[in-house]
Chains A and B, each alone.
Chain A
Amino acid sequence: MGGLRTAESLRRYKYSGHIQILGDEWHMPYNRPPLSKSLLAQDQELAQVSFPIKSDELNTEFTLGDGVRQLSMEQQSVTLQSGKKIEFDFLVAATGLRSKKLVFPNNLQSERFALRTFDDAKAIRQAVGSGKDVVILGSGFIGLEVAATLRGLGCRVKIVAMEDIPLGLILGEPFGEEIRRRHETKGIEFYLNNRVTDLVGNTAITHVKLVDGQSLACDIFIEAIGSAANVEWLEGNELDLSDGLLTDSSLHAVKSNGTSVSNLFGVGDIARFPNMRFELPPRRIEHWNIPLESSRRAAREIVRQVVPGSIEGFESEDGFNPLPTFWSDQFEFSILSFGEPRLADEIRLLEGNLGEEFIFAYLREGSLVGVAGIGMKGKINKMRKDIIK
């Protein structure tokens, strides 16, 4: 997505050079949010989640199924898995994330999944069915969404997580407790403040063992314990890869010695950028709007460097300070959030009732840093302009 949006933006800003998009997946760029929801629920095909592409306007060469193995800044080239070498004037790193997976003493792989790609979603869809025992490790957004969708397909779903309260660290305890209550009402079982210590079975998993001694029946095991940035191919170039690719406030990659690289950019989930809106140390933001907004910004930087003065008003553009946005559909309720609720030192129920629709305001030192709720989308949207700039 970050690659595609960068190419689209470059063309929109009248960049006339050759553009190549390199990807390790065989599929053309597609939209990931439906993977845990409609695609899993209805067994949709790729066409239903592919981004529409106007080939003539985009005028871009796609190389698919051949990921980048190694960057050489010295040679200004990347080497692909196939050995093919491609030189560049500008390189945008948008290699995203991969699902983390644990290693167990009995490290069975059969009927064991994570959800990140279209192929992952198809595999889960084919494995599940009514009456299956599904154990999901992790109570973050993906874990909860997958739980809700698979419950809707008639699976018996259990969530095991280290947290005390699902999403409690992100949205606050009352909000997280309400999410848990809604899931429990639908028949989801939670094993919180807990973890899986081993898998039980010979070739197929039959049970998982928990640290508190319980054993849960398990036909299908899904790990939803977060992601790691795909940055190994950037190693050996003196870049700061301590968590993703460190960038400056205009998304140029930053070297370990602190200097920016003029023709290498980080876009999307892998970019660890300073967001001066919240005056925080640089960090990665794994929200859907970040690839889009960061790719536009990187494209403007490239065009500015190639043809100075070609984008009106851009010479004086501020740093890249996006407003993080996220949403989540689980069962019949949907969560919408703007800003950084996790930064709050004070959380207020602003409107509504926990059992129905509601909005929380998240404040830090008295300033609004985030807003989130269930339902009330119109009102939540209106509040985004009140979040600190």
Chain B
Amino acid sequence: MITIKVDMDKCQHYGQCVYEAPNIFKLNENDKLEYLASADESERENVKSASDICPMQAIQVFD
């Protein structure tokens, strides 16, 4: 399992992460980010890509 943390003070809800890891991140109907705080190991590369692509560098991945 991996743990995912988004700094919601930094997050600007651009949704770039949604494209990289659609199973983990989504923008809700109010354009606010929602995400799963933990995920299967198989999502690691996608979440890492989402973390890289985040313009605000708000996403962290933990083991």
Contact = CB atoms under 8 A, between A and B. Distances in A.
Interface of A: 5, 8, 31, 33-34, 49, 51-52, 288-289, 292, 325, 327, 329, 334, 336, 375-378, 381, 384
Contact of B19 (A329, A334, A375, A381): A381
29 contacts: A5-B52, A8-B52, A31-B55, A31-B56, A31-B57, A33-B56, A49-B57, A52-B60, A288-B55, A289-B16, A289-B53, A292-B53, A325-B16, A334-B12, A334-B14, A336-B14, A375-B31, A376-B31, A377-B15, A377-B27, A377-B31, A378-B15, A378-B27, A378-B28, A378-B29, A381-B18, A381-B19, A381-B27, A384-B19
Interface residues of B, number: 17
Interface of B: 12-16, 18-19, 27-29, 31, 52-53, 55-57, 60
A158 to B, nearest CB: 27
Contact of A329 (B12, B16, B29, B60): B12
B56 A34 contact: yes
B56 A378 contact: no
A152 to B, nearest CB: 16
Interface of A is mostly: mixed
A384 B27 CA distance: 14
Contacts of B18: 381
Contacts of A375: 31
B63 to A, nearest CB: 11
Interface of B is mostly: loop
Contacts of A49: 57
A288 B16 CA distance: 12
B51 to A, nearest CB: 9
Nearest to B57: A31
Contacts of A8: 52
Contacts of A288: 55
Contacts of B15: 377-378, 381
Contact of A51 (B12, B55, B57): B57
Contacts of B53: 289, 292
A289 B15 CA distance: 13
A52 B19 CA distance: 22
A35 to B, nearest CB: 12
A327 B27 contact: no
Contacts of A5: 52
A211 B57 CA distance: 42
Contacts of A378: 15, 27-29, 31
Q: Which of A33, A336, A377 is the most central at the interface, judged by chain B CB atoms within 10 Å of its CB?
A: A377
Q: Which of B15, B53, B60 is the most central at the interface, judged by chain A CB atoms within 10 Å of its CB?
A: B15
A376 B31 CA distance: 7
B19 A327 contact: no
A327 B14 contact: yes
A376 B60 CA distance: 25
Nearest to B16: A325
A222 to B, nearest CB: 22
A33 to B, nearest CB: 5
A375 B12 CA distance: 11
Nearest to A325: B16
Contacts of A51: 57
A336 B18 CA distance: 14
Given A31-B57, A375-B31, 14 more contacts: A8-B52, A33-B56, A49-B57, A52-B60, A292-B53, A327-B14, A327-B55, A336-B14, A377-B27, A377-B31, A378-B15, A378-B27, A378-B31, A381-B27
